[in-house]
A and B are shown apart, each in its own frame.
Chain A
Amino acid sequence: MMKHELAMGMATRDAYGKELVALGKQDPNVVVLDADLSKSTKTALFGKAFPQRFFNVGICEANMVSMAAGLALSGKIPFISSFAVFLMAKGFDQLRMGIAYPHTNVKVVVSHGGISIGEDGPSQQSIEDIALACSLPGFIVNVPADEVAMRALLRAAHSHVGPVFMRAGRPKTPIIYREGEKFELGKGKVLTHGDDLAIVTYGGLVAEAIRAAERLERESSIRTTVIDMHTIKPIDGDLLRETAARTAAVLVAEEALADGGLASAVARWLGENLPTPMAIVSIPDTYAESATPAQLYEKYGLSAPSLVEAARKLVARKVRNGAIA
């Protein structure tokens, strides 16, 4: 169990922009497209380094997605970026027709995922992107938790042949991993060990889960396994089996709607393979509002205290059910 407060790192979108430049140096087939948000998604760094291989298409998300399909069909490896909500909502049919259906080698890396983009409010916040991405056949869906994870998983996405969705965040993110940590798409990371409960989460909530686990142990002697399930699709069934068999209680926390995202994937996997008492902390079935990221996590029930409360209830249920003496 980590006892120290997590150090603050850069936003995962910053790590994306920087690592993309490194990938561009390494692979001349990497091309990058953005829809007039490159200063925010950080693809502008690639544009500065490789102007010939960077296309700012203007505010034309649909055109951008289909163009990427054409580039991929011609042997390029396009990385396309915009805000999560704009790329996924305005480009969805194009993602379906040009990328998922013909299984083209396009990397869809969105920034400003979730509600933690803050003050810009619900029109810019993305609560549906994970479900939309998971609904596309053949897509790998991934959310790095910190800058180290972003760098490693971006390289894994580049090596993988086929469509990959990655979500980056706007705010600075606590550092979870040591530099050089190894990642594999589709393999979750166990961050803390405990047999009373598992918290399965991704992205910015990984840090909240670690804080919740510390408090649960300190205040209630509840020992928690925290899993960074960075890859939501395909879900890491082996890790779920091993963990749920040991903890007999799984709390999923996700910065998205519960329908169609990690909560659905975990519930489905456990329901089919190892039915386990579950609780879900996610964005409620509503749009949020303008506020700071921390205020939004608190108000919409995603912060560590909300996780602690949900975890205590879940463990109490387990005790009532006779699973613990």
Chain B
Amino acid sequence: MADEKLKEMAREIRRHVIRMTGEAGSGHPGGSLSMAELLAALYFGGVLRHDPSNPSWRDRDRLILSKGHGCPALYAALAEAGYISRDVLPTFRKIGSPLQGHPDRRFLPVLEASTGSLGQGLSIGIGMALAARLDDRPYRTFVILGDGEIDEGQIWEAAAFASFHKLGNLVAIVDCNKIQLDGFVKEILDMDPLADKWRAFGWETREIDGHDYGQILGAMTNPAPQGKPLAIIAHTIKGKGVSFMENNPEFHGVAPTADEVVKALAELA
């Protein structure tokens, strides 16, 4: 998909996020908007080897959204890719919906993992990457983490394991949007120098602008040195694309009002 089309796909994902969270009256718009380009690159930029007509394809690349609260953006990408109908998006967070408040495989089996309790997706991804190695399968496993989420100690247990076991088929993408629930990461638990931490844990580490397709695609597709897991520190803007949500901690976990939905959609038109 060409750059312009990818840009439009990110806008489409953002519009879905606004409509879904607005309709639900709850959810997490800020951290969904921050990773729209990352998801567009994965699903539509030729990064993920996947086949929407065969979701259980054995050799599909795996994607785990460890920061499960960002699921509106993932559901939007899955709808645009054809895994689920766009008609189901407005049911987000409503009773009986396959689009649960956090990713839930019981309701939506196309999800690779159920997430929502932070810090666990990278370890689950390691399990999948080990299985690929044991079975000699070519698929890669991608895990999207939040920069608040990586406060969790389990992330660093996983980081140590993955490099020690030379999991070159594993990619961690940190959506570094600088804000966690209670406020700015810098004021709550500053993890800088973050890239140095991942490097010290033995990962090939690439720091990019998470809204720039050239940098995203370069970081995701250029192979890492043999046997090294890849960490992509994607610097992003929380609430990206909607002026009153950008860099605003209030929109971590608060849905836009009806008026705000109209304003946001106008900005994203």
Contact = CB atoms under 8 A, between A and B. Distances in A.
Interface of A: 31, 52-53, 55, 57-58, 60, 62-76, 78, 93-94, 96-98, 101-103
Interface in B156-177: 157-158, 160-161, 165
B161 A63 contact: yes
Interface of B: 104-106, 112-117, 119-121, 123-132, 134-135, 153-154, 157-158, 160-161, 165
Contacts of A97: 114-117, 120
A63 B117 contact: no
Name A's interface SS.
helix
B158 A102 contact: no
A62 B117 CA distance: 12
Contacts of B113: 69-70, 73, 98, 102
A69 B134 contact: no
A93 B153 CA distance: 13
B106 A70 contact: no
A63 B164 CA distance: 14
A73 B115 contact: no
B157 A60 contact: yes
A24 to B, nearest CB: 13
Contact of A76 (B121, B129, B134): B134
Given A73-B113, A74-B132, A76-B134, A98 B124 contact: yes
A76 B131 contact: yes
A67 B114 contact: no
A-B complex: 10 closest residue pairs judged by Cβ atoms: A70-B127, A66-B123, A74-B131, A63-B157, A60-B157, A70-B124, A71-B127, A67-B127, A62-B154, A70-B128
B115 A67 contact: no
Contacts of B125: 70
Contacts of A101: 104, 106, 114
Contacts of B124: 66-67, 69-70, 73, 98
A60 B165 CA distance: 14
A116 B125 CA distance: 37
Indicate the member of B116, B126, B131, B165 with the most A CB atoms within 10 Å.
B131
A117 B199 CA distance: 41
B134 A53 contact: yes
A69 to B, nearest CB: 5
B227 to A, nearest CB: 16
Nearest to B128: A70
A63 B125 CA distance: 11
Given A57-B161, A70-B123, A70-B125, A75 B117 contact: no
Given A63-B161, A70-B126, A98-B124, 17 more contacts: A31-B130, A60-B154, A63-B126, A63-B154, A67-B126, A67-B158, A69-B127, A70-B128, A71-B127, A71-B130, A74-B135, A94-B120, A94-B123, A96-B117, A97-B116, A97-B117, A101-B114
A76 B131 CA distance: 7
B161 A74 contact: no
B128 A74 contact: yes
Contact of A58 (B104, B120, B130, B160): B160
Contacts of B127: 66-74, 76, 78
Contacts of B132: 74
Contact of B154 (A66, A72, A74): A66
Contact of B128 (A64, A73, A93): A73
Contacts of A70: 113, 123-131
Contact of A102 (B106, B121, B126, B129): B106
A102 B124 CA distance: 12
Indicate the member of B106, B123, B135, B158 with the most A CB atoms within 10 Å.
B123
A169 B127 CA distance: 28
16 contacts: A66-B124, A66-B158, A67-B161, A69-B113, A69-B127, A71-B130, A73-B112, A74-B128, A75-B135, A93-B120, A97-B117, A97-B120, A98-B113, A98-B120, A102-B106, A103-B106
A76 B157 CA distance: 22
A91 to B, nearest CB: 10
B131 A102 contact: no
A52 B113 CA distance: 25
Contacts of A69: 113, 120, 123-124, 127
Contacts of B119: 62
Contacts of B135: 74-75
B253 to A, nearest CB: 19
A71 B131 contact: yes
Contacts of B126: 63, 66-67, 70
B177 to A, nearest CB: 23
Contacts of A67: 123-124, 126-127, 130, 158, 161
